[in-house]
Amino acid sequence: MDLFTVVNIIILLALIGVLFYMQKKHISFSKRVLTGLGLGIVYGVILQLVYDPASETIVMTNDWFGLVGSGYVKLLQMIVMPLVFISIVAAFTRLEKSSNLGKISGLVIGTLMVTTAIAAAIGIAAAAGFDLKAIDITAGDAEITRGEDLETSLTEVQSTTVPQKILEFLPANPFLDLTGARPTSTIAVVIFAAFVGVAYLGIKRKTPEHAAFFQKLIEALHSLVMRIVTLVLRLTPYGILALMAKTVAGSDFNAIATLGKFVIASYVALIAMFVVHLIVLAVLGLSPKQFLKKVFPVLAFAFTSRTSAGTLPLNVEAQRNKLGVPESIANFSASFGITIGQNGCAGIYPAMLAVMIAPSQGINPLSPSFIATLILVVMISSFGVAGVGGGATFASLIVLSTMNLPVALAGVLISVEPLIDMGRTALNVSGSMVSGLVTSRTLGELDTKTYASNETPTENMAR
């Protein structure tokens, strides 16, 4: 380790000390998250100006920064599967009417699918509006290699039939899926937890005393898991600081400038879809301003970490304690939102690529039949997309192969993939929270007082 790397690490520790001092002074959680984000960006820019992003110093510095940033992400990932399982089972034990289960899951999934369709339409409009074409993008050696790798992956995707893809959702070994070993592990855990919940409801009718014991056990486990979540969430400002500094310091801005038009078009589409989320809330009579204020820490982490799955604990907590969504609905919307109907990764991105590639195959991307088919394919393909980095590429492979379009373009965009993925992930998480709000508002179960209040349990918890 050279001297410059040591200095960079010391500066990061000093910035962490600033955030710790703010915590001791009981400054609000949201302000500390915003401060961490700002300090991370500024520090990353300074490192960009002082060192070359590919230099040995930056590589070693980012490796050490990963202890804080990536370490925080791993702690969140550690709790994801236990949280998904125990939260959904707990939702069943607290369910007043079993008939509500179908309504909740139907509304959550329906909202995710509809918003994904809208996202696809916005992606089409953005690609067409900016006149993006695959032939205008030049590929280097790294991009060509990536494109070839995707062609290989395409063979595996195409060899899997629709029934086989559906079978992947089922938990043949729930204990394996609890480790998150498969891309569809989250959905598999949700299904397994639902079976446990339904079994509980049956026992409750036949042997209430056994059901009461099981409910107490689940309540105790749920309290334990949520306490772990609380401990991890307190580290959010520090994690965001390190993640943002690492991302900015290691970014290749020359490559980003080369593909600047695509980056701008992508963010225009992402922002437009986020505005749609706010409009949906306004139509429901909910303040978009309150939503922005309360979910900022969650979206900030999703933006910096690029993992919808890792954001799940923050997502559930924000819905329950800040937005007033009942726990049962929050658990379903956050869990389903990881792998179903991701507005950014499975909606906007694949649609934009399809529109860009279509002209090279002699297809008019603005023909009504092409647009209708593309939106339908995007909606169906959004099932089972992993809520981690690379999920958008997987979704694109499915969409492009289904539309009989070449997939190499996804490899050409590898240099700007991290930058765009940050915005896509934040939009994915926003979409899952909106689905929870839409569901709870429609069923008349939203706590509007909590939604409108300025002080929340999470603020106190995180101090």
For residue 461, the model assigns a pLDDT of: 46
Rg of the chain taking only CA atoms, in angstroms: 22
For residue 292, the model assigns a pLDDT of: 93
Name the residue ranges covered by the structural domains of the chain.
3-461
For residue 361, the model assigns a pLDDT of: 83
Nearest-angstrom CA–CA distance, 5 and 8: 5
Q: Which of these, 245, 230, 232, 291, lies nearest to 36 by C-alpha position?
A: 245
Query: What's the fold here for domain 3-461?
Result: Proton glutamate symport protein (1.10.3860)
Sign of the dihedral through C-alpha 313, 318, 320, 321? positive
Nearest-angstrom CA–CA distance, 129 and 126: 5
Residue 327: CB partners within 8 Å, gap ≥ 6? 87, 90, 91, 94, 320
The helix-helix angle for 236-250 and 29-50 (nearest 10°) equals 20
For residue 153, the model assigns a pLDDT of: 53
Q: Across the chain, which distance is largest between two alpha carbons, in Å?
A: 70
Q: Are 112 and 435 in contact (CB under 8 A)?
A: yes
**Phi, psi at 23, each rounded to 5°:** -65, -40
Q: Where are the alpha helices (DSSP H) in 94-134?
A: 99-129
Q: Helix %, strand %, coil % for the chain, to 5?
A: 80, 0, 20
Nearest-angstrom CA–CA distance, 440 and 444: 6
Q: How far, in whole angstroms, is CA 25 from its chain's centroid?
A: 31
Nearest-angstrom CA–CA distance, 105 and 113: 12
Q: Are 331 and 91 in contact (CB under 8 A)?
A: yes
For residue 39, the model assigns a pLDDT of: 93
| Burial zone of 70 (CB within 10 Å; 0-12 exposed, 13-18 middle, 19+ buried) | middle
Residues of the chain with pLDDT under 70: 95-99, 135-162, 183, 254-258, 384-391, 407-415, 455-463
Nearest-angstrom CA–CA distance, 434 and 337: 10
The helix-helix angle for 208-233 and 56-93 (nearest 10°) equals 160
